[in-house]
Amino acid sequence: MKEVVIVGALRTPIGCFQGTLARHSAVELGSMVVKALIDRTGVDVNAIDEVILGQVLTAGAGQNPARQSAIKGGLPNTVSAITINDVCGSGLKALHLATQAIQCGEADIVIAGGQENMSRAPHVLNDSRTGALPNADNLVDSLVHDGLWDAFNDYHIGVTAENLAREYGISRELQDAYALSSQQKARAAIDTGRFKDEIVPVVTQRNGQTVIVDTDEQPRADASAEGLALLHPAFDSLGSVTAGNASSINDGAAAVMMMSEAKSPGSGVASVGAHPRVCQRRRRSCADGDCASICHPALSGACRLAVGGCRSYRS
């Protein structure tokens, strides 16, 4: 089986809801990253076999947003593309599919990642073709309905976090502490320039002036334990999940260029972490790596539950 390596990884800044990236569609943001990846790696566009991008909020985005991003990012129309919707795991699933394609010999070089603009998610008017007028029953917010609503239990995913917190005894204090630690680490990384090399600056307009956005608009710089403790529960009046220990609503895009090791142009390729089942198959453990990434970081209670399975976790 072919070994797969990552030879480039880039992203836009993380834009806050209705922030400086809101005017740029998910396709625009994704195409910026695709183009930058090609420029950064120097890989011949004609050698790229496929683009796989996750995008959950596709209402009004047009046909196959991933292909739009690929073409607008400078790839020829001979390169195929597919858009993936696995909800919060969409971007990671794109990497998974890219890995499988390379290992199976169906591709040698694939760009994979995700793109989203939550700020631009439209409202949808159901039954409009039959003459229905907008009302509370047929005007649907696609941001919530398509992205944040459990279609099987008919409630917000925040309620799922509440259920997990109760079932596994994850306290409000523990959730707040995890959220604060996460924000502080991200803020420290921003302040020390740790993210600079991976961010593709976005040229946009703000108050009639051209500006370059090259820094994440999240997390909050003033986050504190005291501030988090003052927030009211967001989904259950007696619950523990708040706007402070859940993720914010954001805009942005990220992608990696993946290829078979045989195609890799030399050494120095970045290593990546692995899912516990992958570690088991390769007879390795979480402790063999120094960095772990949780694919669903939206709610701190769920994150605490996930990392509990990895003994090497350090808070």
Report the alpha-carbon distance of residue 113 to residue 96 in Å, rounded.
Answer: 10
Report the alpha-carbon distance of residue 262 to residue 259 in Å, rounded.
Answer: 8
Other beta carbons within 10 Å of 177: 17
Report the alpha-carbon distance of residue 248 to residue 16 in Å, rounded.
Answer: 7
| pLDDT level of residue 272 (50, 70, 90 thresholds) | very low
Summarised one tens digit per residue, pLDDT across range 32-67 is 999 999 999 999 999 999 999 999 999 999 999 999
Which is nearest to 98 in space by CA: 265, 272, 282, 276? Answer: 272
Residue 79 contacts residue 108 (beta carbons within 8 Å): no
Q: How many residues are recorded in the chain? A: 315
Report the alpha-carbon distance of residue 101 to residue 169 in Å, rounded.
Answer: 41
Fold of 4-123+147-307: Peroxisomal Thiolase; Chain A, domain 1 (3.40.47)
Q: Which residue has the tokens 């972490």?
A: 273
Summarised one tens digit per residue, pLDDT across range 104-138 is 999 999 999 999 999 999 999 988 899 888 888 88
Judge residue 237's burial from the number of C-beta atoms within 10 Å of its C-beta, 0-12 exposed, 13-18 middle, 19 or more buried: exposed
What's the mean pLDDT in 221-233?
96
In the chain, domain spans: 4-123+147-307
H or E, element range at 165: helix 157-168
Apex 258 CA angle, 253 and 259, nearest 5: 160
Tokens of 220: 């909050």
Task: Tell whether the model's pLDDT for residue 151 goes beyond 90.
Answer: yes
Task: Tell whether the model's pLDDT for residue 271 goes beyond 50.
Answer: no
**Residue 97, SS3?**
helix
pLDDT, residue 270, reads: 44
Task: Tell whether the model's pLDDT for residue 143 goes beyond 80.
Answer: yes
